[in-house]
Each structure stands twice: as structure tokens, then as C-alpha cells.
């Protein structure tokens, strides 16, 4: 999908440029954009190094585990099909906590582990279970506390207040997560009704 | 919305202080751990260079040729009716498909309109408040061999729409 969009953007752009006689601007844009991308990545190094370094301390101090314990009663309601004390719940919780702190790379392997356990709970079927869909819905709606990469970009473009978007981002994230759970429940009910018929 | 700005301002310093003190209290070798974790950050930053270059060059061409203006002009009435700045529209399309590509678009929007413009802020919040639905689905289901996704894709995409609307409403209301 992303392949088509990428090629589409470029080719449509080139055709437009040919028709509108804007090849000069396009030539300039190619090198300017590439240079800008590199500048952004250099800006990202500073924030990512600092943040992931800090998070490593949090992880080793056991903060992530503490937080996972805090989320547990909440998670048990979200995943009624997962028996308490099952390893799936542990992985789900640590995945959510890692995401919460913006540790995408740490979250992914934990999420895959959670999926494996959920598949086992579902009898190893190649079909998505109810808990799997709920888990994915929460993951795709993102539950990040601090959007580090966005902060870095705002910083490198000299925002007067790079951090001002944190609170609105948390609010929007909370809304999208609540919506994701509601939408997930809605589709679950619909499936149930169909099965009953 | 002074209190929201206040939270934004205090959250990072507060977390730094808390984590450092808690780590010290738990006898974590703080500085060594920090350096170890930080190395991962360099790896991530370097690994997204090609994603950003690829997408930003494509967008650069698309914009310089006048194609973006035409597209935006074409959907403008509908978007204005919703209240979404037409410039942000392509970001909403690509956000569920590729996170790094979307990051390229956010950078582009911020570079053109400025980080403190309405568009810059909205793009920032949109990027931060949803995740790459297609990527999450492919990675998680792919890794454990789930072939029938059920309603997962539908749920994920509707959640993205909800997130975008939330971002738009909150940013309009706050700034």
C-alpha cells in the first residue's frame, strides 16, 4: 500500500510538473527535501538518545513493572477472556506500559509474545480471537505519554514552545483509545448477534 | 487553557526528576544505564533516515509541481466544511499506513507552515495520538500466523478516524 502511495506521489508530481512547466522547482525540491530529511534525523538523535537512556533507567528500577501492576485491574475488564494469572496478561500489560513510555522497540516484541499466548488461549487457530482484536485496537490507537519524535521535529524547527503539544496529544490519545475500545465492543456485539442467528 | 499548557511544560522535567531519583533509590547504576539505553536511540534515528528521505523527496516533488495545491483545491470545500485544514488531509490518509512516512509529512508541514501555526500543531498532535494501524496489524498478526483478521482492520481504522477528530477538536479548542 505504501509503495503505491509513494510511487503515485512522485509520478503524479512529475506529470504535473511537466504539464505546468515546473521542472526547475522539482529539481530543486528533490535535493532540498533530501537534505531536510537528514537534518531532521540529526535532530532526532538528541531527543531519542536522551529519552531512551532515561527509559532504560526506569526499566531497570522496576518502574515499568510497577506501572503494569497499576494497570492490571483495568486490563482484566478489557480482556474478560484471558484468565487472571495467565502469561498473556503479563505480556499485554508490559506491552501497554512500554507503549505508554514511547518505547516502541521494546513494545513490539512484548506485543508479539502477547499475541502468541492469546493464540494458544484460542486453541492455536489461525483466526483472530476477541482478545486479539481488542489488543490490536488498543495498540493501533496509541497510548503514548510523550510523543518524543514529534517534540524533536518541533524543536529543530525552532518552535517557541515545542512541549506545548504534549497535553493535547495525551487528551487526543485518550479519546482515540476510548473510541477504539468502544468500537471494538460494538463490532464484538455485532459478531455475537450474527452467531446467534 | 492555561492548566493544559502548564501540564505540558512540567511533564518532562517532572519525569526526569522522578526517574533519576527513583533509579538512585533502587540502586540502579543510573549513568551507565542511561548510556546503554541511549545507544539504542542512535540506532533508531539512523534507521529512519531512508524512510524520511524517500517520503520527503516524494512529497517535495508532489508539492513543487503544483499537484498538492490542485489536490487541496479539489477537496477544499468538503474539508472546510468539516473544519480540517486541507493541507493536513494527506497526512490523515498516510498516518495509518506508514508511521515513518507520516513523520516525513509532519516534518514537511512544520517546515512549511511553522511549528507554532495551527497546521503545525494539529499535525503534531495527529502524529502523536494515533499509531500505524497497518503496520501493527501486519507485524503482530504476521508474527504469530493469524490469517483471518476478523474485524481488526475495521476497528483500527475507525479508531484512527476517532483520533483525528479528537486531535482536531482539542487543538481548535486549546489554541
Q: B40-63: string of b/e by CB count within 10 Å (b at 16+)?
A: bbeebbeebbebbbbbbbbbbbbb
> Residues near B149 by Cβ (< 8 Å), separated by ≥ 6?
A128, B137, B141
C-beta atoms of A22 and B159 within 8 A? no
What does the alpha-carbon distance between residue A55 and residue A74 come to, in Å, rounded to a whole number? Answer: 23
Mean pLDDT of A19-31: 91
pLDDT at A2: 63
pTM for this structure? 0.80
For residue A84, report the phi and psi dihedrals to the nearest 5 degrees: -70, 145
Residues of B with Cβ-Cβ distance to A110 under 8 angstroms: none
Asked if A99 and A143 touch (Cβ cutoff 8 Å), the reply is: yes
Q: Is the pLDDT higher at B128 or at A185?
A: A185
Give 3-state DSSP helix, strand, coil % of chain A, rounded to 5: 80, 0, 20
pLDDT at B12: 79
Structure confidence at residue A1 as a pLDDT band (50, 70, 90): low
Residues of B with Cβ-Cβ distance to A10 under 8 angstroms: 57-58, 61-62
Question: Which H helix or E strand runs over B2?
Answer: helix B2-25
| The three-state (H, E, C) secondary structure of A119-183, written as one string | HHHCCCCCECCHHHHHHHHHHHHCCCCCCHHHHHHHHHCCCCCHHHHHHHHHHHHHHHHHHHHHH
How many Cβ atoms from other residues are within 10 Å of residue A21's Cβ?
10
Residues B50-70 have pLDDT tens digits of 877 887 898 889 888 988 888
The shortest C-alpha distance from B81 to chain A (Å) reads: 21
Nearest CA in chain A to B59: A9
For residue B168, report the phi and psi dihedrals to the nearest 5 degrees: -60, -45
Asked if B156 and B133 touch (Cβ cutoff 8 Å), the reply is: yes
Count the helices and strands in chain B (H runs, E runs): 9, 0
Return the residue in B12, B35, B37 with the most chain A beta carbons within 10 A, the one to mutate for interface testing.
Answer: B37
| Interior angle at CA B40, CA B21 and CA B24, nearest 5 | 15
For residue A146, report the phi and psi dihedrals to the nearest 5 degrees: -125, 115
Asked if A69 and A94 touch (Cβ cutoff 8 Å), the reply is: no
What does the alpha-carbon distance between residue B69 and residue B73 come to, in Å, rounded to a whole number? Answer: 6
C-beta atoms of B28 and A60 within 8 A? yes
Residues A44-55 have pLDDT tens digits of 788 778 888 888
Asked if B57 and A18 touch (Cβ cutoff 8 Å), the reply is: no
pLDDT at A12: 93
Of A30, A112, A158, the CB nearest to B140: A112
Residues A111-170 have pLDDT tens digits of 888 898 899 999 888 888 999 999 998 888 877 788 888 888 898 899 998 888 989 999
A-B C-beta contacts closer than 8 Å: 380
Q: CB-side exposure of B10: number of CA atoms within 13 Å?
A: 6
Q: How many angstroms separate the Cα of B12 from the Cα of each of A64, B128, B130, B136, B175? A: 17, 16, 20, 27, 21
pLDDT at B1: 56
**Three-class SS state of A79:** coil
Model confidence at A103: pLDDT above 80:
no
Q: Is the pLDDT higher at A70 or at A137?
A: A137
| Interior angle at CA A111, CA B24 and CA A149, nearest 5 | 60
C-beta atoms of B159 and A51 within 8 A? no
Amino acid at each position: 500500500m505504501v509503495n503505491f502511495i509513494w510511487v503515485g506521489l512522485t509520478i503524479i508530481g512529475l506529470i504535473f510538473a511537466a504539464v505546468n512547466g515546473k521542472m526547475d522547482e522539482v529539481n530543486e525540491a528533490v535535493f532540498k527535501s533530501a537534505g531536510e530529511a537528514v537534518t531532521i534525523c540529526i535532530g532526532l538523535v538528541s531527543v531519542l538518545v536522551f529519552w531512551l537512556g532515561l527509559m532504560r533507567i526506569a526499566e531497570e528500577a522496576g518502574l515499568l513493572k510497577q506501572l503494569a501492576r497499576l494497570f492490571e485491574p483495568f486490563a482484566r475488564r478489557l480482556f474478560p477472556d484471558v484468565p487472571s494469572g495467565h502469561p498473556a496478561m503479563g505480556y499485554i500489560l508490559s506491552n501497554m506500559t512500554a507503549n505508554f513510555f514511547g518505547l516502541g522497540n521494546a513494545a513490539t516484541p512484548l506485543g508479539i509474545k502477547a499475541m502468541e499466548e492469546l493464540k494458544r488461549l484460542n486453541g492455536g487457530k489461525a483466526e483472530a480471537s476477541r482478545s486479539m482484536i481488542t489488543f490490536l485496537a488498543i495498540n493501533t490507537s496509541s497510548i503514548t505519554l510523550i510523543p518524543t519524535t514529534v517534540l524533536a521535529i518541533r524543536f529543530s524547527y525552532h518552535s517557541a514552545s515545542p512541549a506545548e503539544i504534549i497535553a493535547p496529544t495525551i487528551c487526543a490519545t485518550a479519546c482515540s483509545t476510548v473510541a477504539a475500545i468502544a468500537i471494538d465492543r460494538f463490532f464484538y456485539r455485532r459478531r455475537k448477534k450474527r452467531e446467534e442467528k | 487553557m492555561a492548566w493544559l499548557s502548564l501540564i505540558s511544560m512540567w511533564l518532562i522535567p517532572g519525569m526526569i526528576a522522578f526517574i533519576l531519583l527513583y533509579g538512585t533509590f533502587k540502586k540502579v547504576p543510573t549513568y551507565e544505564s542511561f548510556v546503554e539505553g541511549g545507544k539504542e536511540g542512535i540506532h533508531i534515528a539512523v534507521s529512519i533516515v531512508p524512510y524520511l528521505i524517500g517520503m520527503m523527496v516524494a512529497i517535495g516533488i508532489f508539492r513543487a509541481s503544483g499537484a498538492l495545491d490542485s489536490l487541496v483545491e479539489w477537496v477544499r470545500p468538503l474539508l472546510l466544511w468539516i473544519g480540517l485544514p486541507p493541507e493536513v488531509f494527506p497526512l490523515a490518509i498516510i498516518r495509518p499506513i506508514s508511521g515513518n512516512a507520516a513523520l516525513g509529512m509532519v516534518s514537511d508541514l512544520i517546515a512549511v507552515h511553522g511549528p507554532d501555526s495551527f497546521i503545525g500543531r494539529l499535525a503534531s498532535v495527529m502524529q502523536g495520538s494515533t499509531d500505524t494501524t497497518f503496520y501493527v496489524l501486519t507485524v503482530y498478526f504476521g508474527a504469530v500466523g493469524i490469517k483471518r483478521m476478523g474485524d481488526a482492520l475495521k476497528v483500527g481504522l475507525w479508531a484512527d478516524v476517532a483520533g483525528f477528530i479528537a486531535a482536531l477538536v482539542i487543538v481548535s479548542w486549546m489554541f
